[in-house]
Amino acid sequence: MRVIGTAGHVDHGKSTLIEALTGTHPDRLKEEQAREMTIELGFGWLTLPNGEEVGIVDVPGHRDFIENMLAGIGGIDAALLIIAADEGIMPQTKEHLAILDLLGISSALIVLTKTDLASDSSWLDLLELDIRQALNNTTLRDSPILRVSAKNKTGIESLITNLQSLLENKPNRQNLNRPRLPIDRVFSMGGFGTVVTGTLSDGELKVGDEIEILPSRLKGRIRGLQTHKKKEEIASPGSRTAVNVSGVEIDSIQRGDVLVHPNQYQATRRMDAKLNLLKDISTSIQHGDEVKFFVGASESIATLRLLGIEELKAGEQGWIQLELREPILAVRGDRYILRRPSPSETLGGGIVVDHQPKGRHKRFDENVLKSLESLSHGSPVDILLEAASALGVASVKDIQTKSRLDSEQFENALEDLILNQQIILLEGNKKPESLVTSFSELQKVKSKILQTVDDYHKQYRLRSGMPKEELKNKIKLAAKTFNIILNFLITNYELRITDTVSKPEHEIKFTQPEQAAVKNLMRKFESNPYSTPSVKECQTDVGEEVLNALIETAEFIAVSQDVLFRKKDYDDMLEKIKKHIKQNNQITLAEARDIFKTTRKYAQALLEYLDSVNITIRDGDARKLK
C-alpha cells in the first residue's frame, strides 16, 4: 500500500487532477466546494495497472492553509508537484517545493496541469526550463515533468504509468512491530463511534488490538479497520488507514495525536535535531526564538535552543534542541518543519536525531555536539552505542526503540558491541527486558558508587560499611537498576555486601589512643561480666563511634538499648541458660538472676533478647527452649 501527496499553488488544479485520477473529488467541506479550493486535507485512491492500490492526500495550496498542508504531507511515499501551465511557478509552488526538499521526499512527478490553456508548445518548453532551474539543488531535481489536462483527459494515462514506475522502485515500509498512526482526521460514524485516520508507519494494526492515544495516554481497543473504504483485519505499514476505536470519545482526540500500542512510545517536550534553514528566509534565527514545530500530523509551539552557535543565518545548518510547549510523539529519523509564528513563514526543517534527550544540554559542550553528529551520520553500531549511552542503564527493548534500528540491524549491532565489550549485559542475557549499559556509562556509575563508598569509609572509618539504602539515595538510581549494578560489582569483587556495602579491602582499625581506651573498658567488663557498665558509661569511656564499632564487630553484644555484654561472656551465659532449661525444663527470671548473681535489669534484658532471636520462648513467667 502506497500513499502519495499533492503539492502546489492554490488553484493550480490539484483537486481536479485527483478527481480525474480517482473518480472522487477530495474537497469534502461545503466551504471548500463553495470557494473551489482545498482548506482541509482531502483523500482519494486509485488502483494502478499492476493492481497496487495507491492513496492520495490532497493538501491545501493557499498560503493561509500551509499548516494544514504540513499535517498530511509528512507520511507520503511520493509527491505530485502540481504547476498550472497558464501561471507557472508561483509563491506557494516554491514554498511547497522547499517543504518537500526539507522532508527529504525525492520520489516525485512534476505535473504541468491545465495544458489546454497553454496551446503554444514553445511556452511549455520555456516553462519546463524554468521548472528545472527551480528544482536544481533540491531532492526533486531528477523528477520527470509530465504535461496533463484533467479537463481534456490528456496525459492521464502517462501520469498513471509514470506513477507506477516511480512506486515500483520504492522499498516497502519497515515493519518494526511498533505501529504509529499520526492522526490527521477525527470523526464519528453512526453505529460505529469514534474513527481516526492517518498514514500508518513502523508496524501493523489488527482488529482487537489494545491501543493508546498519545500524548493523552487514553486507552482503547480497535473495533474495526478500513483502507480505502474496504474492511481489513490487518493494516500494514505505509497504508492510509481508518481505525474505529472503542473506549475513547471523539472529544478526547485531536489532530496531531498518535495512535500506538500501549507502552511502546512516550511523548516528549524536548528533542534534539539537525536544522537546515531555507536560503530566502526574511531574517536569521537566534537562540531562544519561538517557533512552530511540525512533525507527523502534529504542531506545537517550541523554544529553539541553538547548540554551539549564537545565531543561524539563511541557508545555514546547525544543531538545535527544541523545548515544546505541549508534549508530542516523534522518534529518531522523523522529518520535521519549522515555521515562524508571526509573520507566518517557513524557516526550514531537518531530522530528529534524539527524541528523548536526557535533559537540557549545555549549549557549547563539544561532547554533546559529537554525540549528535554520531547519531545523525553513524553506522548502526554507532547509532546503537549512542542510544545506549544516552539512556544510561536501560532495557534491551528501550535501547532498540530509541535507536530506531530494524530487528536485523539491531541484533547485529548489539552482538558486535557486546563482543567488543562496548555494551555490557548486566543480567547476563539479551532478553527484551534485561538491563544493559554502555561500557563508558558502567564505568561512570561504577566510579560514582565506588567513590561514594570510599568517601563513606573515610568519613566513618570505624563503621563496617555504608547502608545500602543510603548508597542508593546518593547514587540516584531506580531500585532495580541500582541492585543489578551493585550485584554486578559484587560478582566482580569490587564491592562486598553484608548488612552494609563496603570495599573488599576495608577493615575497622583503632588508633593507639582508641586501643588504650578499649583495653580500659574491657577491664571493667572483665571485673563484673554480668553487671556491666551502661551504654552511656561506655560511650563516655571510648566514644560513640568506637563503641558502635565494637558492637558491629561482635566484640560486644547489645541485648537491649542499655545493656551490653562481651561476646565471650554472652556465650557463657547462653550455655548456662540452655543447661539449666535442659535440666529443669524451664528457667524463670529470678533463677537467671541468681545464676549470674546480677540484678533483675540484666537478667530481664538477656532473657528478652533470647526470646527475640528465637532461642527461648516465654511460657507464663518462665522460658523454655524454642
The answer to whether residues 148 and 14 belong to one domain is yes
**Beta strands 622-625 and 587-588: pairing type?**
antiparallel
Domain harbouring 57, CATH code: 3.40.50.300
- The Cα angle at residue 18 between residues 16 and 19, in degrees rounded to 5: 65
Q: Do 131 and 41 fall into the same domain?
A: yes
Residue 405 located in a structural domain: no
Q: List the end-to-end C-alpha distance of the chain, in Å, as a whole number.
A: 76
Residue 463 lies in a domain: no
Q: Which of 168, 202, 217 is the last residue of a domain?
A: 168
Walking along the chain (626 residues) 10 residues at a time, the average pLDDT comes out as 80 78 58 37 78 77 46 71 89 86 88 85 89 91 91 89 88 81 87 87 92 94 87 88 91 93 90 92 93 90 95 93 94 88 88 87 90 80 83 87 82 87 83 86 87 92 91 87 85 84 90 94 94 94 93 92 94 94 94 94 94 92 90
pLDDT at 63: 46
Spatial distance between the Cα atoms of 460 and 546, rounded to a whole number of angstroms:
10
Domain annotation covers residue 35: yes
* CATH code for the domain in which residue 328 is found: 2.40.30.10
Parallel, antiparallel, or unpaired for β 393-395 and 285-286?
unpaired
Whether residue 108 is found in the same domain as residue 202 = no
Q: Is 582 part of a structural domain of the chain? A: yes
Asked if residue 305 and residue 161 are part of one domain, the reply reads no
Beta-bridge mates of residue 20: none
Tell me, what's the pLDDT at 70? 60
Torsion sign (Cα): 351, 353, 354, 359: negative
* Domain count for the chain: 4
21 and 159 share one domain: yes
Question: What's the chain's length in residues?
Answer: 626
Whether 50 and 99 map to the same domain: the answer is yes
Residues 22 and 148 in one domain: yes
Task: Kindly report the number of other CB atoms within 10 A of residue 411's CB atom.
Answer: 14
Last residue of one domain, picked from the residues 368, 395, 413: 368
Do 347 and 277 share a domain, yes or no? yes
In this structure, the answer to whether residues 228 and 293 fall within a common structural domain is no
Residues 544, 560 within the same domain: yes
Identify whether residues 283 and 364 lie together within a single domain: yes
Gap between the Cα atoms of 621 and 600, Å rounded:
14
d(CA 392, CA 488): 16
Chosen domain end from 327, 347, 368: 368
| pLDDT at res. 110 | 93
- Note whether residue 461 is domain-resident: no
Q: Provide CB contacts within 8 A for 487, sequence distance 6+.
A: none
Task: Residue 91: give the domain boundaries.
Answer: 2-168
Q: Does 548 reside within a domain?
A: yes
**Which pLDDT score, from 0 to 100, does residue 25 have?**
61
Does the residue 503 lie in any domain? no
- In this structure, are 100 and 46 located in the same domain? yes
604 inside domain: yes
Provide φ and ψ at 350, rounded to 5°.
170, -145
The whole-number pLDDT of residue 401 equals 82
User: What predicted TM-score, i.e. pTM, was given to this entire model?
Assistant: 0.63
